């Protein structure tokens, strides 16, 4: 795919070109899908060392005001009020029927850090709608401030901490989902120990004017190589992580998606702040009675890739569901996929079939992640 003139560019666009990236359109941006060594090499380097991803297309939004946490709880079934300064949490916006409008990261920056009372990172393809959703529903209770002047870098892999600690030794003290402010290559940055690969790593919000300097400083570390969207997708799939618009969407509930772990007890029926968010009645019914379908992991008996949209059927060809993501995993060298099946067919080691080019390929339901997470707890 070639880029067109109307695509947006991240602050690192010229650096990507200098590094030999193949650029593709993604969520309205020209983004690097891979560099010269290719997707598999980038994937494996992230698993063994450290990979640097440009994720500046994502939306960053700060909420400012003493009532920001309570306000946000009217839009997400997540404990935001109880989120401590210097911590981050995964969540999702829900609609009136309990579907997922978007998933997001919610951080409470340290006091007086200058990054708002809450800092949100939302998906690129949803950010305009998310900002409108926030402004419409809670804009009178707190200030909703988009931050397009901030770039976002993700440094991921088991040696990410080694590389980043050369620039700021204090990052080594962070644990998974901790958040703090550090000076990196002369830039004041908001850093979380988190990511989208299943590996240890960091996401770094940096002023766009200083993003290239920071990226070059990180790429100068011997452990670090650049990686594109292709490797980011295979890594997150191996980690069993959802991609919005594919594995989850406005018609999918968090319970169906297996994300009920992100709904803390205080927001569930019987909790001190149960309900009070869009779709709470529908989600509370599913929390009590279960959902009709469930997202499952699938491993191919044969080494044939299955792709999004492929039908999942039983041995007699009766429809069960569909594949939402799939690949040949570089780490395991197997066909893996995620998809939805009726809850009574979602048992581990159960066999289903996926239709690929008029053939039915056997796959086994397996627990996720496919590759164990290596977060620093």
pLDDT in tens, 201-232: 999 999 999 999 999 999 999 999 999 999 99
pTM for the model: 0.96
Q: In Å, how far are 31, 59, 93, 305, 326 from 55, measured between CA atoms?
A: 9, 9, 21, 27, 22
Section 323-347 average pLDDT: 97
The whole-chain average pLDDT of the chain stands at 97
- Picking from 222, 241, 178, 201, the residue whose alpha carbon sits closest to that of residue 46 is 201
Q: Could you state, in order of their start, the residue ranges of all structural domains in the chain?
A: 51-220+242-291, 292-367
Section 313-332 average pLDDT: 97
pLDDT in tens, 117-147: 999 999 999 999 999 999 999 999 999 999 9
Q: What is the DSSP letter of 110?
A: P
What was the pLDDT predicted at 5? 65
Section 148-167 average pLDDT: 98
Ranking 1-10, 242-251, 338-347 by mean pLDDT, the lowest is 1-10
For residue 55, the tally of other CB atoms under 10 A from its CB is 19
- The neighbouring-strand residues paired with 182 are 189
pLDDT in tens, 362-377: 999 999 999 999 999 9
For residue 12, the tally of other CB atoms under 10 A from its CB is 25
Report whether pLDDT(336) > 80: yes
Report whether pLDDT(3) > 60: no
What was the pLDDT predicted at 198? 98
As given in the structure block, the two tokens for residue 268 are: 């569930």
Domain 51-220+242-291 = CATH 3.40.50.300: no
Query: 3-state class of 75 per DSSP?
Result: coil
What was the pLDDT predicted at 112? 80
Domain 292-367 = CATH 3.30.379.10: no
Q: In Å, how far are 45, 305, 326, 327, 370 from 335, measured between CA atoms?
A: 20, 5, 7, 6, 11
């Amino acid at each position: 795919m070639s880029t067109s003139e109307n695509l947006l560019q991240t602050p690192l666009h010229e650096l990507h070109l200098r590094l030999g990236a193949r650029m593709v359109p993604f969520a309205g941006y020209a983004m690097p899908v891979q560099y010269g060594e290719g997707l598999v090499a980038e994937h494996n380097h992230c698993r063994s060392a450290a990979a640097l991803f440009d994720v500046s297309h994502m939306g960053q939004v700060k909420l400012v005001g003493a009532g920001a946490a309570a306000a946000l709880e009217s839009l997400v079934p997540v404990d935001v009020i109880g989120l401590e300064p210097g911590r981050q949490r995964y969540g999702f916006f829900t609609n009136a029927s309990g579907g997922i409008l978007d998933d997001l990261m919610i951080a409470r920056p340290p006091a007086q850090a200058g990054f708002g009372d809450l800092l949100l990172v939302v998906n690129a393809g949803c950010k305009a709608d998310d900002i409108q959703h926030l402004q419409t529903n809670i804009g009178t209770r707190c200030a909703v401030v988009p931050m397009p002047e901030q770039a976002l870098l993700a440094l991921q892999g088991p040696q990410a901490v080694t590389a980043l600690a050369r620039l700021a030794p204090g990052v080594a003290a962070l644990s998974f989902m901790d958040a703090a402010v550090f000076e990196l290559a002369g830039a004041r940055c908001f850093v979380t120990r988190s990511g989208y690969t299943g590996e240890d790593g960091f996401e770094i919000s940096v002023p766009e004017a200083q993003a290239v300097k920071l990226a070059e400083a990180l790429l100068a570390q011997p452990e670090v190589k650049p990686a594109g969207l292709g490797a980011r997708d295979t890594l997150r799939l191996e980690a069993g992580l959802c991609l919005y618009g594919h594995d989850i969407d406005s018609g999918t509930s968090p319970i169906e998606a297996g994300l009920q772990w992100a709904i803390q007890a205080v927001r569930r029926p019987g909790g001190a702040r149960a309900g009070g968010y869009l779709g709470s009645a529908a989600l509370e019914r599913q929390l009590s009675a279960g959902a009709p379908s469930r997202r499952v992991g699938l491993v191919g008996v044969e080494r044939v890739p299955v792709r999004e949209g492929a039908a999942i059927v039983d041995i007699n060809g009766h429809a069960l569901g569909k594949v939402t993501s799939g690949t040949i995993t570089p780490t395991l060298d197997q066909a893996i996929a995620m998809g939805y099946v009726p809850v009574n067919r979602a048992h581990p080691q159960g066999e289903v079939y996926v239709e690929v080019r008029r053939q039915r390929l056997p796959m086994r339901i397996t627990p996720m992640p496919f590759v164990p997470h290596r977060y620093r707890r």
